[in-house]
């Protein structure tokens, strides 16, 4: 499933890239074609403008020549006059003469025919000469135009209209700004808000008057500030597909998280069952052995033996009841608020009593317990039974997770910070890893120690402690360093601030 989602996402990303590239290539081609058309029209416009204004250079040129036309009527001779005026217009006039001496004309017919051939040659030479004069004038005008600076040769308003028209004809209707530079990079004109982009993807350039000498050429740059949004606007149709893909990915991630969470919960429950089995095994086997001894009629039943067996059964029964209650406590407090019997208690006195009771167990394991109860304001509103269990649980953990190579040292302190009472229980045990430190207050969680079960428990003690402190409107956190020890700090409001 993961491979399918990754493949689908990769295909969509590639598809989007292809669409963007195609859109950009089409835009680039359209802009380049528009710039080519615009510069060509600009050059034609310049040539037309200078030719129209340059006809004054031809004012002194006026030509006229005659042609003799011999009509089919031998008695009539026509003379055709061509006159070119100063403004370039051409006029024709005909003069007709009667041939009064028809006989003489017949005689001179041969001569007239030869004269007609000579007139054709004269007219052809005359035409070539006049054509050369016109070409020379045109070349002179164009050279004079190219010799002028760019800001005189270009009408920038006209250039703006030309660009707008050609861009529109090529399907581009987004805002643009342009500037004109000389061939050496000097700016001739620029729109007030023209700004080239750093990567150059939205700026295009072309050469103006490319047939002129290099030093007379210009450079036209055009920038499209909204090109990015224009390119990606074509992807609107793919947004629903991307949303659905995103939903699938989120669903997949949530599914994975739930799977791993369920797997972890399953492991914790299995660990809980294993530890519960070990916790119940010893008292059950002890009670079973005591019961067998009571039922064994071959053994003498002295009063001292009966008392010992009954005491053993009672102690182990209490132990079982205590373990069952620990399981039920967390189960009870999981889904509803506990009903506490709150009353004013002196935390220093309660903790001193717990320390005195617990000192025997610490000393039995070769350690010592130190109390430093400095809190001046130690009155709190709490349930003494549950609060006592909290202290016993924290101290019991110190004994369970002690180091074998050093003597156990347990220190219990109280002090005030503002309106709060702080209680710390610190040991020099094995410590807790940072990754485990974040989870020690979770139900069923126990620090992983391989398959060792030398430290008995269900992973419920600290969850119970957290629940009780929270219900008392307090906080608890742990500080620990692996191989050095652990410190639990409880923070509660004093009674006058409840």
Please tell me the least confidently modeled range out of 171-180, 210-219, 323-332, 414-423. Answer: 323-332
* Structural domain count of the chain: 4
Q: Which residue would you say has higher pLDDT here, 320 or 108?
A: 320
The answer to whether residue 166 scores a pLDDT higher than 60 is yes
| pTM (2 d.p.) | 0.41
Tokens of 363: 């000393």
pLDDT single digits (tens) 14-62 = 877 788 888 888 888 998 999 889 888 888 877 777 666 655 444 444 4
Same domain, 139 and 86: yes
- The closest alpha carbon to 154, from 46, 74, 251, 236, belongs to 46
Same domain, 302 and 395: no
Domain that holds residue 353: 337-497
- The per-residue pLDDT for 70 is 44
Same domain, 119 and 177: no
Same domain, 268 and 141: no
The answer to whether residue 111 scores a pLDDT higher than 70 is no
Sign (positive/negative) of CA torsion 68, 72, 76, 80? negative
* CATH, residue 312: 1.10.287
CB 412 within 8 A of CB 424: yes
Q: Which residue would you say has higher pLDDT here, 169 or 1?
A: 169
Same domain, 162 and 273: no
Domain boundary at 146, 175, 197, which?
Answer: 146
The answer to whether residue 222 scores a pLDDT higher than 70 is yes
Tokens of 301: 């039943």
Burial of 49 from C-beta contacts in 10 A (0-12 / 13-18 / 19+): middle
d(CA 4, CA 379): 62
pLDDT single digits (tens) 454-483 = 445 556 678 888 888 988 899 999 998 888
H/E stretch holding 340: none
Same domain, 162 and 137: no
Provide CB contacts within 8 A for 127, sequence distance 6+: none
DSSP secondary structure of 152-186: HH--HHHHHHHHHHHHHHTT--S--EEEEEETTS-
Q: State the average pLDDT over residues 144-173.
A: 82
End-to-end C-alpha distance for the chain, whole angstroms = 54
Please tell me the least confidently modeled range out of 120-124, 391-395, 404-408. Answer: 120-124
- The closest alpha carbon to 447, from 436, 438, 458, belongs to 436
- The per-residue pLDDT for 306 is 81
Domain boundary at 146, 164, 193, which?
Answer: 146
**Range with top average pLDDT, 169-173, 214-218, 355-359:** 169-173
Q: In what order do the strands lie in the sheet with 203-208?
A: 187-190, 177-182, 218-223, 203-208
């Amino acid at each position: 499933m993961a491979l399918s989602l990754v493949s689908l996402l990769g295909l969509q990303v590639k598809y989007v890239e292809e669409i963007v590239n195609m859109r950009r290539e089409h835009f680039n081609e359209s802009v380049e074609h528009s710039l080519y058309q615009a510069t060509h029209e600009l050059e034609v416009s310049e040539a037309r403008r200078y030719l129209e204004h340059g006809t004054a250079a031809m004012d002194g040129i006026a030509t006229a020549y005659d042609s003799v036309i011999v009509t089919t009527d031998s008695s009539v001779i026509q003379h055709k006059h061509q006159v070119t005026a100063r403004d370039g217009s051409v006029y024709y006039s005909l003069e007709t003469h009667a041939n009064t001496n028809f006989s003489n004309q017949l005689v001179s017919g041969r001569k007239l025919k030869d004269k007609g051939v000579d007139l054709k040659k004269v007219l052809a030479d005359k035409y070539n000469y006049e054509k050369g004069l016109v070409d020379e004038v045109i070349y002179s005008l164009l050279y004079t135009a190219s010799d002028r600076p760019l800001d005189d040769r270009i009408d920038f308003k006209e250039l703006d209209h030309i660009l707008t028209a050609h861009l529109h004809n090529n399907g581009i209707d987004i805002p643009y700004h342009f500037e004109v530079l000389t061939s050496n990079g000097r700016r001739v004109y620029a729109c007030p808000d023209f700004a080239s982009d750093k990567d150059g993807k939205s700026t295009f350039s072309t050469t103006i008057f490319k047939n002129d000498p290099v030093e007379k050429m210009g450079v036209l740059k055009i920038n499209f500030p909204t090109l990015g949004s224009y390119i990606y606007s074509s992807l609107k149709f793919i947004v629903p597909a991307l949303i659905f893909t995103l939903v699938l990915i989120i669903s997949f991630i949530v599914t994975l998280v739930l799977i791993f969470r369920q797997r972890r919960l399953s492991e914790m429950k299995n660990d809980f069952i294993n530890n519960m089995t070990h916790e119940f095994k010893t008292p059950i086997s002890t009670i079973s052995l005591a019961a067998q001894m009571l039922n064994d009629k071959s053994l003498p039943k002295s009063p001292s033996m009966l008392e010992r067996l009954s005491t053993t059964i009672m102690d182990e029964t209490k132990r079982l009841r205590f373990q069952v209650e620990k399981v039920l406590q967390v189960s009870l407090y999981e889904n509803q608020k506990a009903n506490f019997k709150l009353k004013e208690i002196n935390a220093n006195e309660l903790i001193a009593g717990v320390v005195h009771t617990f000192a025997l167990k610490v000393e039995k394991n070769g350690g010592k317990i130190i109390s430093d109860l400095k809190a001046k304001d130690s009155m709190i509103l709490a349930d003494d039974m549950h609060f006592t269990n909290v202290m016993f649980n924290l101290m019991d953990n110190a004994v369970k997770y002690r180091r074998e190579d050093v003597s156990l040292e347990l220190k219990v302190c109280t002090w005030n910070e503002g309106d709060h009472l702080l209680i710390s229980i610190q040991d020099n045990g094995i410590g807790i890893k940072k990754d485990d430190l974040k989870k020690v207050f979770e139900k069923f969680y126990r620090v992983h120690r391989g398959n060792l079960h030398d430290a008995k428990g269900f992973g419920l003690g600290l969850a119970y402690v957290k629940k009780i402190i929270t219900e008392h409107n307090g906080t608890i956190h742990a500080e620990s360093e692996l191989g050095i020890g652990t410190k639990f700090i409880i923070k509660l409001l004093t009674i006058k601030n409840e």
